[in-house]
A and B are shown apart, each in its own frame.
Chain A
Amino acid sequence: EAGVTQFPSHSVIEKGQTVTLRCDPISGHDNLYWYRRVMGKEIKFLLHFVKESKQDESGMPNNRFLAERTGGTYSTLKVQPAELEDSGVYFCASSQDGTTGRPQFFGPGTRLTVL
């Protein structure tokens, strides 16, 4: 069974540009999460989809970040315009259901560098 996949693995952009990250969850997983690790800090939650609906977007840092999951399959996270502090590793995770106790399985991450 394929795991969570993310594209691209790395992205280097200049401040002010736009970047779109993609995540394909494990097949059949309705719950999809985005997380981010900024250098020197812990991994932090960004948002949670259940199918195509945003269940919780309390972790989104500001309105420069837009996440979508049209059709309830893959998800995209767009950063527009990117700022220096957006640099970090963006992880996507999925789980079979959203109940507590269910582990989440992570993708390899997208390493974003904003210059």
Chain B
Amino acid sequence: RKEVEQDPGPFNVPEGATVAFNCTYSNSASQSFFWYRQDCRKEPKLLMSVYSSGNEDGRFTAQLNRASQYISLLIRDSKLSDSATYLCVVSLVNQAGTALIFGKGTTLSVSS
């Protein structure tokens, strides 16, 4: 079983649509959670951290369910510029350090 699993998509939606991505992680000791965005042939860029209470940043809302080991990202009023791959990322602290563990990503394509 993969450590972080995401639906690869692609999700093809029209402008203005609401779209939701889900992610599950296998290690219950995971302590930090993030969504990164990656454009084609570019580096991952931090979109938002995910907190247990849920958090919102403009059109983006992230939720975390530790009991189910489940993370979600909701994008409202999709824009053409939202087209990208969204990476679900977790980290845990162990004796060694704080490496990030990535999912394969979910591809979003927003069309006019």
Contacts and interface: CB of A to CB of B under 8 A. Distances in A.
B105 A55 contact: no
Contact of B97 (A44, A93, A98, A109): A98
A93 B44 CA distance: 10
Contacts of A105: 46
Interface residues of B, number: 25
Interface of B: 2, 4, 31-32, 34, 42-46, 49, 87, 91-93, 96-105
Given A33-B100, A48-B97, A103-B49, 20 more contacts: A31-B98, A42-B103, A42-B105, A43-B44, A43-B87, A44-B102, A45-B99, A45-B100, A48-B98, A48-B99, A58-B96, A59-B99, A95-B98, A100-B31, A101-B49, A102-B32, A102-B98, A103-B46, A108-B42, A108-B43
Interface of A: 31, 33, 35, 41-45, 48, 50, 55-56, 58-59, 91, 93, 95, 98-109
